[in-house]
Amino acid sequence: MDLDLKPLESYIYRELKIDLSAYKSNQMNRRLNNLIARNGASTTKEYIEMLEKKPEMKKKLADFITINVSEFFRNKELFVDLENKLKEILISNDNKKLKIWSAACSNGAEPYSVAIILDKLSPKVRHEILATDIDSTILETAKQGIYNPADVKNVDKDILKRHFSIYDDGKYILNEDIRNRVRFKKHDLILDDYEKSFDLILCRNVVIYFTQEAKDKIYSKFSESLLPGGLLFVGATESIYDYKKYDFGKASTFIYQKNK
Ligand SMILES: C[S@@+](CC[C@H](N)C(=O)[O-])C[C@H]1O[C@@H](n2cnc3c(N)ncnc32)[C@H](O)[C@@H]1O
């Protein structure tokens, strides 16, 4: 099936405020075609009519586009690397407060992982951690800090013990102390302005869905948002080959440093 998706794209922009033109079109078209077929519609128009009748389908569509998968210390070895770079480059003896941004943070496991690392590295300092996502529903989940065992499988036992409690149903709840260190806010990497003066930006496992043009704009804006010497931490499949173009140097395989 290869449907004309233009009406659906306009609908998604209007109703869900998501600009699909920034997402890789082959991949997105294939996924949307599959989704429409799975819902039993044979035309885009028919699918839109279904969406109009059932609000819960609209929510499912938003979830489908945004793909919210995350976990604590995703690619654990890269978080070890991040911890080392934080020690080496950003954490100083004068207890400087860092400004950090976890962009496309999903259920909060990523910014909370950073908060846990910083609690270990500089327990006396309250660093500023901003965490954003385009999906306001996932941000509400993130604020609650409740996770399945699979989400915390990379968390060391002593950290689990120190920062989480276990519910009777086997879920893990992150303690308030760490939860209070992260400020969540809705933000669209494609359409919104970026805050400035960050020491560290994490942006992982989202740009893979974007076109080269969209990625290019995002990396330029990250570079403008970082302080000189600040770090950008990307996903395990998201090496930036032309990093010099964005005024970055390489701090390690998946961490880039804004030139001083
Ligand atoms: C796969 S998750 C990545 C979560 C986390 N960064 C990680 O690596 O585990 C991708 C997230 O990107 C968000 N997202 C998708 N498009 C976005 C956009 N245009 N602006 C901001 N966030 C977006 C989704 O809502 C989703 O929560």
- Residue 128 is predicted with a pLDDT of 97
pLDDT, tens digit, 9 for 90 and up, residues 43-73: 999 999 999 999 889 988 988 898 888 999 9
- Return the CATH fold of 76-258: Rossmann fold (3.40.50)
Question: What single-letter amino acid sits at 136?
Answer: S
Between the CA of 186 and the centroid of ligand 1 the distance, in Å, is 11
Ligand 1 centroid – CA 67 distance (Å): 7
pLDDT at 1: 65
Q: Report CA(191)–ligand 1 centroid distance (Å).
A: 14
Distance 6 CA to ligand 1 centre (A): 23
**Integer Cα distance of 184 and 258 in angstroms:** 25
Task: Average the pLDDT over 90-109 and give the result.
Answer: 90
pLDDT of 92 > 80? The answer is no
89 confidence band (pLDDT: 50, 70, 90) = confident
Contact call for residues 210 and 23 (beta carbons, < 8 A): yes
Task: Determine whether the shortest distance from the Cβ of 135 to ligand 1 is under 6 A.
Answer: yes
pTM score of the predicted model:
0.92
Q: Whose CA is nearest to atom 9 of ligand 1?
A: 70
Nearest CA to ligand 1 atom 3: 205
Q: What is the chain's mean pLDDT, rounded? A: 94
Using a 6 Å cutoff on CB, does residue 218 contact ligand 1?
no
Nearest to 230 by CA among 78, 77, 98: 98
85 close to 117: Cβ distance less than 8 angstroms: no
Q: Round to whole Å and give the CA distance between 38 and 98.
A: 46
Structure tokens at 256: 């880039």
Least confident of 122-126, 174-178, 200-204: 122-126
Residue 78 pLDDT? 97
Q: Which residue is closest in CA terms to ligand 1's atom 10?
A: 206
pLDDT at 153: 96
| Inter-CA distances, 80 with 38, 119, 154, Å | 41, 15, 12
Q: Is 67 in the pocket of ligand 1 (CB under 6 A)?
A: yes
Cβ–ligand 1 contact at 204 (below 6 Å) = yes
Q: Domain residue spans in the chain?
A: 6-66, 76-258
**Ligand 1 center–CA 133 separation, angstroms:** 6
Answer yes or no: is pLDDT of 93 > 80: no
Which percentage of the chain shows pLDDT scores above 90? Answer: 85
Tell how far the Cα of 95 is from the centroid of ligand 1, in angstroms. 31
